[in-house]
Amino acid sequence: MRVLLAGGAGYIGTHTAIALLEAGHEPVLLDDLSNTSDVVTDRIAEITGTRVPLITGDAADDEVVESAFDAHGPFDAIIHFAALKAVGESVAKPLEYYANNLDTTYALLRVGLARGIRSFVFSSTGTVYSDPADLPFTEEATRNLVELSNPYSKSKLMNEVALTDIQAVNPEVNVTLLRYFNPVGAHASGLVGEDPKGIPNNLMPFVARVAVGALPEIGIFGDDYDTPDGTGLRDYIHVVDLAEGHVAALEKAQPGLASYNLGTGNPVSVRGLIESFERAVGHELPKSVKPRRAGDLAATYCSPEKAERELGWKATRTIDDMTASVWNWQQKNPSGYAG
């Protein structure tokens, strides 16, 4: 299967490209490189022995998407990773988030449907669920746009609504919505991993930067939640498990619309993740408790049973696997892909 990965040079896209190659498929990357580096194609080739094509450009531009089809098509499927993804930044830059996260979807669909794709896999998020009383979140859990706290989550849910309507009038096409829960980890080789620009917005890369000495301390935002150790509970999933979920979704795709949670179903606390990372490093890391952040929930985790039942997929890697792989990546790449 030949697959166009929009945003494919990013963190999840790179790992998915590797998983697709290992499963015998042909990925092609489309990325504007705003949050990654073209070095990833060298790293993918080193891991797999195959150099994947990379088209540099904006997935929201129809002409750029057309050029990918002209140069490397036809494609059987598109996987759409091309989105801005920082929750806090989305509150400060709502117009940028809505424009990018919706326009990329529309351009990919306009061109893809005209060129005969039969499968469209959308990178959604577990933050589309709006009622914490629904825990663990199933695919039928509450999704209420006005109750979501940030433009990032709203843009993802708006995409889901649009994709539902578009698939309804293109019944021969499969649309799969994959709702991620806190991707972390890195490839076992240590050659590819998460390399956010500037100060990381997410916990795991922040902890890794502290461990390598690039940042002074870890901030724990709230230790008085109604959880076993007072810190927030999250469903962390190894990025390699997540990548394998995309392969399963493509290989099991049938005409119609389907949605799946991709997580472990086993939440880990903020302190639990830090303690796991400390085990990987071999010593304690500097940390301090800070006030709660607005919008943070005490717990968020999913039921992944539908994906296991229908896709034959299940996350198998533990939190210690996740933190050990990140430490391996960060040690080998203390400045990320820059050196």
In whole angstroms, give the CA distance from residue 30 to residue 52.
11
Tell me whether residue 152 is one of the annotated catalytic residues. Answer: yes
Q: What is the DSSP letter of 201?
A: S
What average pLDDT does the structure give for the chain? 96
Which of the following is catalytic: 152, 225, 236, 260? 152
Distance CA 16, CA 239 (A): 9
Task: For 8-77, give the DSSP string.
Answer: TTSHHHHHHHHHHHHTT-EEEEEE--TTS-THHHHHHHHHHS-PPPEEES-TT-HHHHHHHHHHH---SE
The Cα 83–Cα 59 span in angstroms is 9
pLDDT digits (tens, 9 = 90+) for 64-121: 999 999 999 999 999 999 999 988 889 999 999 999 999 999 999 999 999 999 999 9
Mean pLDDT of all residues in 273-292: 97
Q: Which helix (H) or strand (E) holds 119?
A: strand 119-125
Mean pLDDT value of segment 165-184: 98
Binning pLDDT at 50, 70 and 90, where does residue 296 land?
Answer: confident
Largest CA distance in the chain: 57
- Per the CB < 8 A criterion, the answer to whether 72 and 28 are in contact is yes
